[in-house]
Amino acid sequence: MPPLLPLAALALLAAAPALGQGTIRNDRFWTDTAGTPVYSQGGGILKVGTRYYWYGVKYEEAVAYARDPATPHPNPHFAAVTVYSSDDLVTWRYEGDAIKAGATGERFPRDAWFGRLGVAYHAATRRYVLVSQYGGKDTGPGIVFATSKSPAGPFTFARHQPVIANVSTPTSGDQTLFVDDDGKPYLVFGSGGSRRDLYVAPLRPDYLGIEPATRIYTAPGAGREGNAMFKHRGLYYFCSSDLHGWNASRSYCMHADRITGPYSPDRLLEGTAADFSHVSQNGFFIPVHGSTGTTIVYAGDRWSDFAGNGPGYNVWVPLSFDGRTPRFYSLSEWHLDAKRGTWGVGANNNYALNPGFEADRVTQTQLAGWQVSWTSIRDNSPIVNLRDGRTGRWALTLPHAAPSMATATQDVTLPDGDYTLRLWIRSSGGQKVARVFAVGHGGAEVAQTLSGRIDEWRQITLPTIPVRTGRVQIGVYSEGRDNQWLRIDDVSLTRNR
């Protein structure tokens, strides 16, 4: 397991993948071995022997979103619980649908809520037990249990539990299923409604019910979502996200020696603030135990087009640890060796954070991961992200009314080497100055001046940026007036090969 390192020190991990490694590429729609999009959200993974089984929900709107991410689909309809399997956590084979909407005499209708699920194996009955949130007209909200003789399903309805004891609301808010080292499963969740109280509750002996819960923490503010747990070096880590609805968020973690606590103070998961967990919401965690180490994988969700926060549904990245403190690595490409339990940075990784400006979720004057400065006579706080993205919904815009100067920059820490900066531009033209630049890398400024009106998105490239200081500042500058503007989207900073 790599130690906690500044990103510049990851140069040693950025080599070509070794034999046995697979490459995980975020910021796109994943496909299975048949070339079909992987539809799996709000789920979890169970390892059976040497094979991993990935369970998640397919929503009807996800299919249309994969075909055309520009089309909004704000209301989810349950289609199925999907099952995929893999030996390496990279190449996934579609095993079928564990549960289909309308199955078992309309037991699970398409307009019911079904999600936030996991599967555990009950050794005594030799049954796989699926545990999920479920709320339909026939039952009302609660927890549903379904069983199967095979990890690939199909699963059949067993029972529905409408209330969990010792909880401030009748049932759970966001939840995941955590299976301890001894095989005992627990529901990890927050309260419904306010979402402030966080709980752990064991499953009853037959796994077909939730026992009384233990409250482990009351979160500040509006509360928490995306509640999930992993265990590392004997410690339990309870992690969750801000309460942002179907949106990207920073993540928080606390740890304890016992699953019911007491837990350490709740702290920001380092590495998740600059781009809101690589534009995702906390989903679940995958412990990858190998022959030479263990890697904890953060599995985040991008909720179809419910939030419009970037292409693809899934974001998986590695964690590292400094003692008991985890760190999140926001990577667009990385290698995972599941057999060895090790990872490395991909050769095509994009080192720019929040490159598509999708993390921020709403119109505002400052953007996650970027520093925006403005000098003007009248307009001191212009809106700088607009719904006019080349991909996704958002783009950064530097508008001018009165004569003004605007700069948007990002300070990037990265291994020494030669890099290429690419970004897409639109412009009103007419500015006194409009330019793209890279500075602070140990050499002369690398820049390109823009001229004329650019009506359609055009890619601008700075091909050779010699980084010799372990850092670089990338940015755009515009000086204009009279409703002139400069707009950018889809920034990439990649190492030359």
pLDDT over 90 (residue 349): yes
Of 46, 6, 15, nearest to 417 by C-alpha is 15
- The CATH number of residue 202's host domain is 2.115.10.20
Q: Using the structure block, give the residue that is written with the tokens 């990385």.
A: 334
Write out the DSSP string of 238-272: EEEEES-SSS---EEEEEESSTT-PPPPPEE-BTS
* Segment 160-187, tens digit of pLDDT: 999 999 998 888 999 999 999 999 999 9
Within a domain: 357? no
Same domain, 134 and 189: yes
pLDDT over 90 (residue 251): yes
Residue 164: CA atoms inside 13 Å, Cβ hemisphere, count? 34
Within a domain: 425? yes
Same domain, 303 and 385: no
Within a domain: 134? yes
Contact (CB, 8 A) for 438 and 462: yes
How many domains does the chain divide into? 2
Which uninterrupted H or E stretch holds 462? strand 454-467
Spatial distance between the Cα atoms of 134 and 156, rounded to a whole number of angstroms: 14
Spatial distance between the Cα atoms of 171 and 163, rounded to a whole number of angstroms: 5
Same domain, 156 and 222: yes
Q: Residue 243 is encoded by which pair of tokens?
A: 């309460």
Of 150, 148, 174, 59, nearest to 108 by C-alpha is 59
Write out the DSSP string of 142-174: EEEEEEESSTT---EEEEEE---TT-SSSSEEE
Spatial distance between the Cα atoms of 349 and 494, rounded to a whole number of angstroms: 6
> What's the mean pLDDT in 2-9?
42
* Segment 11-68, tens digit of pLDDT: 445 545 555 679 999 999 999 999 999 999 999 999 999 999 999 999 998 998 888 8
- The whole-model pTM stands at 0.94
**Residue 283 three-state SS:** strand
Same domain, 117 and 70: yes
Same domain, 438 and 295: no
Q: Using the structure block, give the residue that is written with the tokens 């410690």.
A: 235
* Segment 428-460, tens digit of pLDDT: 999 999 999 999 999 999 999 999 999 999 999
- Position 307 scores a pLDDT of 75
Same domain, 327 and 404: no
Within a domain: 485? yes
Q: Residue 322 is encoded by which pair of tokens?
A: 């400094």
pLDDT over 90 (residue 287): yes
* Segment 365-393, tens digit of pLDDT: 889 999 999 886 465 667 888 888 998 88
**Cα-to-chain-centroid distance, residue 453:** 36
Q: Whole domain around residue 385: which residue ranges?
A: 371-495
pLDDT over 80 (residue 477): yes
Same domain, 135 and 234: yes
Q: How far apart are the first and last CA of the chain?
A: 26
* Segment 96-154, tens digit of pLDDT: 999 999 865 557 888 888 999 999 999 999 999 999 999 877 778 899 999 999 999 99
Q: Residue 61 is encoded by which pair of tokens?
A: 């709107």
- Position 103 scores a pLDDT of 61
For the chain, the average pLDDT equals 91
- Position 92 scores a pLDDT of 98
Same domain, 341 and 393: no
Residue type, 457: W
93-119: b (≥16 Cβ within 10 Å) or e? ebbebbbbbebeeebbebebebbbbbb
Beta bridge partners of 272: none
pLDDT over 50 (residue 1): no
Of 438, 431, 446, 439, nearest to 486 by C-alpha is 431
- Position 245 scores a pLDDT of 84
pLDDT over 80 (residue 496): yes
Same domain, 182 and 316: yes
Q: What are phi and psi of 55, to 5 degrees?
A: -110, 135
315-335: b (≥16 Cβ within 10 Å) or e? bbbbbbbeeeebbbbbbbbbb
pLDDT over 80 (residue 422): yes
- Position 387 scores a pLDDT of 87
